[in-house]
Each structure stands twice: as C-alpha cells, then as structure tokens.
Amino acid sequence: MKKSLAACIAGLLSITLSSPAAAYLDPGTGSIILQGALAAIAGAIVVLKLYWMRLKSFISSLFTGSKGTRANLDSENETNADSKD
C-alpha cells in the first residue's frame, strides 16, 4: 500500500515538475496515430461481427428471461426440423 502510494506521488511529481519538451511531431507520426485509430475501429467492428449472435442472445435474455438463449434457439431449430419430416 505504501509503495503504491509512493509510486503515485513520485509519478505525479515527475509529471508536474518536468520542463516542457521541444518536441516535433512530423506528418508521419500523425499518419501512424490516424492509422492506429482506424485499426482500432476496424478491429472493434470485426469483434462485434464475430460475437454478434452471442451479444444479441445475451441482450434478449436480459429482457425476455431465458427465451433468447442460444441453447433454446438450437433446440427450437431441431424441433422444427423434426416436425417437417
């Protein structure tokens, strides 16, 4: 506890007492930052697409109880397939 408090105080002091840096960000750096932001957005879209059914069933189970779970959807599909035969 005391070590983490000391580390936080040391970090805050180093941030507040540091002198300003004469740094230059060229257009290449801005391009890399933009590329990273776009990659993060694209990654989030892919993850959302991959887990869409799980997310959808989870949200529907929150509002409807257990009707929207994946296991119930699968069992309903099997029942419908059996009744068609």
What letter represents residue 6's amino acid?
A
Please check the confidence at residue 33 and state whether its pLDDT lies above 90.
yes
Give this prediction's pTM. Answer: 0.43
Q: List the domain boundaries for the chain.
A: 52-85
pLDDT in tens, 43-75: 999 998 998 888 888 889 988 875 545 555 555
- 50 touches 58 (CB < 8 A): no
- 38 touches 54 (CB < 8 A): no
Q: Pull the structure tokens for residue 14.
A: 């180093």
Q: Pull the structure tokens for residue 75.
A: 């069992």
pLDDT score for 68: 47
